[in-house]
Amino acid sequence: MIDIMNATKYFRVGFFGTKKTAVENLSLNIEEGKVTGFFGPNGAGKSTTIKMVVGLINPSGGNIKIKGYPASDCRSRLKLGYLPENPSFPRGLKGIEIINYYSKLLDKKINKDEIYDALKLAGIFYAKNIHAHKYSKGMTQRLALAVSILGDPEILIFDEPLSGLDPVGRKEFKDIIFKLKKRKKTIFFSSHVLADSKELCDRIAVLVNGRLIKSEDLEDIEKEAASYAEEKKDNLLTGEYSTPLEVYLYDLMLKSRKN
Amino acid sequence: MKKILYGTMYSFKEIKNLKIFYSFLMFALILISGSYFVSQTSFISQGRIMVDFSIFAISIFNIFIGIFIGASVVYDDIEKKSVFLTITRPIKRTEYLAGRFLGLAAAIIFSTIIMMLIFYFVLLIMHKFIVPAGYFAGNVKAKAGIVSHIKNKRVKSAPAEKNSGKNITGKLSIVKPAAKPFTFYSLPQPLIIQALFIIIESIFISAAALLFSLITSKALASIFAILVFFIGSVSSRMNDLVKPVKKIINGKVVIMHQANHALMSIVHFIYTVLPNFSIFNISSEAAYKVNVSAGIIFYRIVYGICYTALLFIISSLIFARKDIS
Ligand SMILES: Nc1ncnc2c1ncn2[C@@H]1O[C@H](COP(=O)(O)OP(=O)(O)OP(=O)(O)O)[C@@H](O)[C@H]1O
Ligand SMILES: [Mg+2]
C-alpha cells in the first residue's frame, strides 16, 4: 500500500544552513488492511516521516509511493485521510462550514449525510454550529478527524491521534480507530505512548533518532519481549512500564539512543 | 477548476472575518466621510478636494489590505498548520494557492466596491461631483432641466469643468428611464476607472506580498512589498530626474547636464525591472473629470494583469517545492 524506500530527510537549519538529519535511510512497507503503529521518543522523526508520506515535505533522498503513485503526486492522496498533530482551523468559521469546504476538495461527491456521519463518528456533531476557534483542543482534534475520514478513504494516517486528550477522549478515539480497523482500513498512526501499541496495532515500527530500529508484527515482537523479560528478571516492571512489551521497547529505545 | 472556486470562496470568507480587514475597511470609511470636513477648509472646488482625499484613502487602504493580507494569507495558513489538512487532499498545490489568491482578490474587490459606494453616497448627499446617468435614455426632456441646472452650478464653481455632463458610464446607467420620479446620478467615468485601477493595483501588490511571504517572514514580506510599491510609484519620476537635460541652441541639441552614469543605469534598471505603479494613479484626471481613453485603460489593465500573473506563476513554482512543516 505505502512503500517507503530509503527515505532520507535533512533540514537546513541556522544562518549557515547546516544540515540536520531528521530521518535517515528509512525503509518501511505499510500493508493493506493493517494497523501499523509508529513509535519513538520526541524528536525521533515520526512526524517528519508522516509528512513525507502525505506529501507535505519532499524527501531529500529515496522515494515514497502510495498505491504506485509518488507522494508528491496529488493522485496518491485520492483515498487518503490525514490527521496532523495539533490540527487547527482558520478563525471565524463554523465547524460545519469548514467540513463542507473540505468535502468539496475531494474528487467524489460527498452528500450531507456522509458529512453528518463523519461528524457523528468523530463525536463533534453536537458542536457543528460553533465557530471552530472556540473549540477546545479535543474538539478541534475531533473535527480534524472528521475531516480526515470524509469520503471513506482506504488509507488513514494519524499523527499522534491521542495526544492532548483526556482519558475519556482517548478511549473514544481508540474506539474509533477500532471501528475503522474493523472496516479493513489501512491505518498508520504515530504515538510515543507505548501503552497504545498493544490494543490497536497489527504491526509495530520503532524509530529512534531518525533510524528505524524495529518493524515487526505484534506477535513476533511480543515473543521477543517475553524472552527478553526472562533474561533480565530482576529489574523488570520498573516505574511506568508494566508489561514486558513496554519494557522491551523502552530498553530498545534507550540503547539505540546511546549509540 | 471547481476546487479553485471553492478555495476562493473559503478564503474570501476567512479574510472577511479577519480583524485587520475590518479595521482597514472601517478606517477608510471614516476617512471618506471625513473628507467632507476637509473640503470645508477650502472655498473653491470642494468637490475636487473631497475626491482627491477620498481616492487617496481608498487606494491607500486597499493597498494596505493587499500587502498585509497578501503577506499573511498563505503564511498564516502554514504557520497555524491549517494548510496541512488542505493540501493533503487530492488537490494540486497550485490550485490551493490560486484559491487563496483569488479569495484575496475577491476581498479587495469587495472592499473597493464598498468604499466606492460609501464615497458615492457621500457625494450624492453633498450633491457634488456626480453626473446624471441615463443621459442616453428616453425621457431626456424631463431631466434636461436638472442637467443644465447642475451644469450651471458647476460652471460657476469650477470653470475648468466644461464637458462634465458627458461623462456617462454604462455600468450604473442601467436604470429604466420611464416612470422615474428622480434623476439617477452616477460617478463620472474617470472615478470609476480609478476604482478599477485601484483594484488592479492592490491585487498586483498583494501578489508581490504573497511571493515575498513564501520566501521570508510575514513582517519582512510586508516591508518588501511596501518598498516595492513605494519605489514602483516613484520610479518613473526618478527616471525623469536622471535624464540628461537637453537644450536646443542654434538648432543643435546640446546636453546641458548629465547625471552620473552609474546612478543613471541603476535608476534605469529599477525602472525597467520594478513594476510601475504610477500609471494606476489617475487622481488628477478624476479630480478634473477628464475622461480616460479606452486605449489607456486597456493597456494599463493588461499590464497589471500580466505582471500579476507572472508573480503568481513564480509564487506557485516556489510553493510547489516548498517544505511545509
Ligand atoms: N522544519 C524543520 N526545520 C528544522 N528541523 C526540523 C523541522 N521539522 C523537524 N525538524 C527536526 O527533525 C527532528 C524530527 O522531528 P519530528 O517532528 O519528526 O519528531 P517527532 O518524532 O514527531 O517528535 P514528537 O514526538 O515530539 O512529535 C527533530 O529533531 C526536529 O528538530
Ligand atoms: Mg511529532
Instruction: Name the packing angle between helices A112-122 and A167-182 (round to 10°).
Output: 130
Per-residue model confidence as pLDDT tens digits over A222-256: 888 788 777 776 555 566 666 777 777 777 777 77
B221-244 burial, b for 16+ CB within 10 Å, e for fewer?
Answer: bbbbbbebbebbbbbeebbeebee
Per-residue model confidence as pLDDT tens digits over A55-113: 999 999 888 999 888 888 888 888 899 999 888 888 888 999 999 999 988 888 888 99
Can you read off the three cell numbers belonging to residue B303? 499590464
Query: CA distances (Å), B168 to each of A225, B120, B192, B232, in order?
Result: 86, 15, 10, 32
Ligand 1 neighbour A46 (Cβ under 6 A): yes
Per-residue model confidence as pLDDT tens digits over A203-216: 888 888 888 888 88
In this prediction, residue B208 carries a pLDDT of 94
Q: Which residue of A has its CA nearest to B93?
A: A74
In this prediction, residue B142 carries a pLDDT of 40
Cβ-Cβ contacts under 8 Å, A105 against chain B: 3, 6-7, 86, 89-91
In this prediction, residue B283 carries a pLDDT of 79
User: Which residue type, as a one-letter code, is found at position A115?
Assistant: I
What residues of chain B, 73 to 112, have a C-beta less than 8 Å from chain A?
77, 80-82, 84-92
ipTM of the complex model: 0.88
- Higher pLDDT pick, A221 / B179: A221
Q: What is the dihedral of CA A65, A67, A69, A75, to 10 degrees?
A: -130
pTM of the model: 0.85
Beta strand A203-208 pairing with A211-217: antiparallel
Mutate to test the interface with B, among A64, A74, A103 (most CBs of B within 10 A): A74
Q: Are B46 and B39 in contact (CB under 8 A)?
A: yes
Nearest CA among B312, B215, B314 for reference residue B4: B312
B269 reaches A (C-beta below 8 A) = no
* Res. B164: pLDDT tops 60: no
Per-residue model confidence as pLDDT tens digits over A11-46: 888 888 888 888 888 898 988 888 998 888 888 889
Smallest Cβ–Cβ distance between B6 and the set A11, A51, A101 belongs to A101
Sign of the torsion formed by the C-alpha atoms of A83, A88, A94 and A97: negative
Structural domain boundaries of chain B?
2-132+188-238+270-320, 134-183
- Of B124-133, B202-211, B287-296, the range with the lowest mean pLDDT is B124-133
Ligand 1 neighbour A148 (Cβ under 6 A): no
In this prediction, residue A158 carries a pLDDT of 92
Can you read off the three cell numbers belonging to residue A119? 461528524
Rounded to 5 degrees, φ, ψ at A115 are -65, -45
Mean pLDDT of A168-194: 87
* Res. B147: pLDDT tops 60: no
Query: Which domains can be identified in chain A, with CATH numbers?
Result: 2-79+154-258 (3.40.50.300), 85-153 (no CATH)
**Across chain B, what does the average pLDDT equal?**
80
Residue indicated by cell numbers 525503509: A27
Rounded to 5 degrees, φ, ψ at B291 are -65, 145
Ligand 1 neighbour A40 (Cβ under 6 A): yes
